[in-house]
Amino acid sequence: MKTALVLFSAGSEELEAVTVVNILRRAGVTVTLAGLREGALRGSRGITLQPDTTLDAVLNDDFDMLVLPGGMPGTRHLQADARVLKLAQDMAKRGRYVTAICAAPMVLATAGLLAGRRATCYPTCLDEFPDVLLQTTAVVEDGQLITSRGPGTAMDFALTLAERLTGKARRDEVEASLVR
């Protein structure tokens, strides 16, 4: 069974995190929602989420995909966390999926993963990284790196992630059950 690690910090965008967790679980992926610290965390819109575990508890576990939701100041917390940067770098080196939505592609850029690569993000979030080949489509795939624009593209992003982990037929089944 495929596995995904979704990170959540105080100030992360709840819609993006919950949409990804929900869709991937519907597709049969084992998803772990990990907080940067222990306990419930208040997201960017004031909604409190209780992660399954902490990043420290799963840091040495093996995952097929890493997912970083955006939101502020959650993205800044992820970007400033050396564990997150190293995890993204290590997973990319191992050929695993490293994904981010909204402002979170800034984390991938800070980790050095987007230089000369195609990516998208919430408008202006990658302006300080001129070496990124910025695109404006809802979801951008460049090898194992997958990025998306923001809360409005969360469903497209989540379905793309489901397809990469479980195949097009399973993605289509999940999407049909959503009555989109």
Residues with a known catalytic role: 102
Residue 127, token pair as written in the block: 């302006």
Q: How far apart are CA 31 and CA 25, in angstroms?
A: 6
Beta-sheet strand order (sheet of 145-148): 53-54, 30-35, 3-8, 65-68, 97-101, 145-148, 139-142
Whole-angstrom CA distances from 91 to 16, 74, 137, 180 are 21, 21, 25, 32
Closest CA relative to residue 47, chosen from 80, 15, 2: 15
Query: Are 11 and 74 within 8 A, CB to CB?
Result: yes
